[in-house]
Amino acid sequence: MATLPSILRHAWQTSALPAGRTRALLEDFARSISFRCRELVQWHTGFQVSNAAVVGLGPARIVLFSDLLLASLTERELVAVFAHEIAHVRRKHVLVFVAWSIALFLGAELAITHFELADDWLGLVVLAATLAFWYFAFGWFSRRIELEADWFACESTGEWQAMASALERVGGPHGRGKDSWRHFGTQKRVEFLALSASRPEIARTLTRRLEWIGRIGYVLAALALAAQSWVLTSSYRADLVTVDLALGRWSEAAQRAAELEELDSDIAAFVARAQTFGPVGPPPEWLAQAGREARERGQRVAALEILALAQLRGARDVDDELVELASDLRTGSR
């Protein structure tokens, strides 16, 4: 987000908005509502795209205006579109979206881990449900923040007709009655502006609802981040045991394991098995061969543990054998 303005300036064909009446008008409006940005930028699309966007964070952000947009709108309409883009910054729409995304996806990851669904089809179901909910929720939220941004433009410019006519010009006949994933159709947006102009409480109610959605998102994101931090912190010392096993520091692994009150049963078994080979882990190829020999002798538990140690040490050709052994043990054959 911090580097995106520079990336887009170099990746797309852009130039500083030329000095003149239009630029002065936009700069005066920005000053009137205390909005700061690094640069007003013209985006050269060959007159194929009619759009504007605020890109980046803080005063380093830039505001893009496409060539077709600049050519299509009157000065009043262009200021209204500028105000609409400023609204996304003022209302922290991107921040709310990020907060909800953190809450949803971290929450799903924590649920999958807590209920041990990672290796089960239920884990995929949880992930698919989370993605589906995110998709529809983001569309629902996006369409309404666009309405809020439209109304902010009306309030900050002192009129609603300029924003309405800008929407009509940009949307064109094809977009008038058609809702998209992220935007209501032009007709609905213009009707909302006209209705809110006569009954401002309608727009204020929408704003309050979106503010509450934002607050809930911040709280859920904070809880998800706190829970994830707790999980990572609490598992840190146990993770070091696995690291020691992978690096062949098997005496250190045993020492760390002995200091822990709780340790995953599989890792504890690997540590115990490692001690039968000495304080330093043998090469992965040697361990893989030892695991296969144990399997040939019918020692399936020992074979699984030795092959798992080989895998930790870097052996790459034992995955199928581990799956087969785990399946055998689940069915009761030891």
Query: Comparing C-alpha atoms, which of 48, 87, 86 is closest to residue 69?
Result: 48
Cβ-based neighbours of 225, under 8 Å, separated by 6 or more = 102, 106
Q: Yes or no: is domain 1-72 CATH 3.30.2010.10?
A: yes
Query: Tokens 């579109």 belong to which residue?
Result: 81
Three-state DSSP at 280 gives strand
Q: Is the dihedral of CA 273, 278, 284, 287 positive or negative?
A: negative
Q: How far apart are CA 307 and CA 288, in angstroms?
A: 5
What confidence tens digit (pLDDT) does each residue in 230-283 have?
A: 988 988 999 999 999 999 999 999 999 999 988 888 999 999 999 999 999 999
Is the predicted pLDDT of residue 295 greater than 80, yes or no? Answer: yes
Q: For residue 79, how many C-alpha atoms fall within 13 Å in the half-sphere facing its CB?
A: 24
Token digits of residue 307:
């092959």
pLDDT above 90 coverage of the chain, percent: 78
Is the predicted pLDDT of residue 119 greater than 70, yes or no? Answer: no
Query: Comparing C-alpha atoms, which of 77, 49, 83, 79 is closest to residue 167?
Result: 77
pLDDT band at 57 (very low <50, low <70, confident <90, very high): confident
Domains of the chain, residue spans: 1-72, 74-233, 237-330
What confidence tens digit (pLDDT) does each residue in 69-97 have?
A: 999 999 999 999 999 999 999 999 999 99
pLDDT score recorded for residue 118: 62
Is the predicted pLDDT of residue 334 greater than 50, yes or no? Answer: no
Q: How far apart are CA 218 and CA 98, in angstroms?
A: 9
Per the rule left: phi > 0, alpha: psi between -120 and 50, beta: everything else, 332 is: left
Is the predicted pLDDT of residue 196 greater than 60, yes or no? Answer: yes
The beta strand positions in the chain, using DSSP E, are 14-16, 39-43, 52-55, 62-66
Distance of CA 67 to the CA centre of its chain: 31
Sheet (strand 14-16) strand order = 14-16, 39-43, 62-66, 52-55
What confidence tens digit (pLDDT) does each residue in 121-172 have?
A: 787 888 899 999 999 999 999 999 999 999 999 999 999 999 999 999 998 7
Mean pLDDT of 304-328: 91
Cβ-based neighbours of 61, under 8 Å, separated by 6 or more = 5, 37, 38, 54, 55, 89
pLDDT above 70 coverage of the chain, percent: 98
pLDDT score recorded for residue 332: 64
The beta strand positions in 160-308, using DSSP E, are none
Quick count: other Cβ atoms within 10 Å of Cβ 155?
15
Mean pLDDT of 208-214: 97
How far apart, in Å, are the Cα atoms of 219 and each of 67, 96, 293?
Answer: 41, 11, 55
Q: How far apart are CA 26 and CA 65, in angstroms?
A: 11
pLDDT score recorded for residue 175: 64
pLDDT score recorded for residue 59: 82
| pLDDT mean across residues, the chain | 92
Q: Is the dihedral of CA 104, 110, 114, 120 positive or negative?
A: positive
Is the predicted pLDDT of residue 207 greater than 70, yes or no? Answer: yes
Count of residues for the chain?
334
Is the predicted pLDDT of residue 216 greater than 90, yes or no? Answer: yes
Is the predicted pLDDT of residue 287 greater than 60, yes or no? Answer: yes
Q: How far apart are CA 192 and CA 139, in angstroms?
A: 18
Is the predicted pLDDT of residue 111 greater than 50, yes or no? Answer: yes
Is residue 254 a contact partner of residue 275, using CB atoms and an 8 Å limit? yes
Residue 249 identity (one-letter amino acid): R
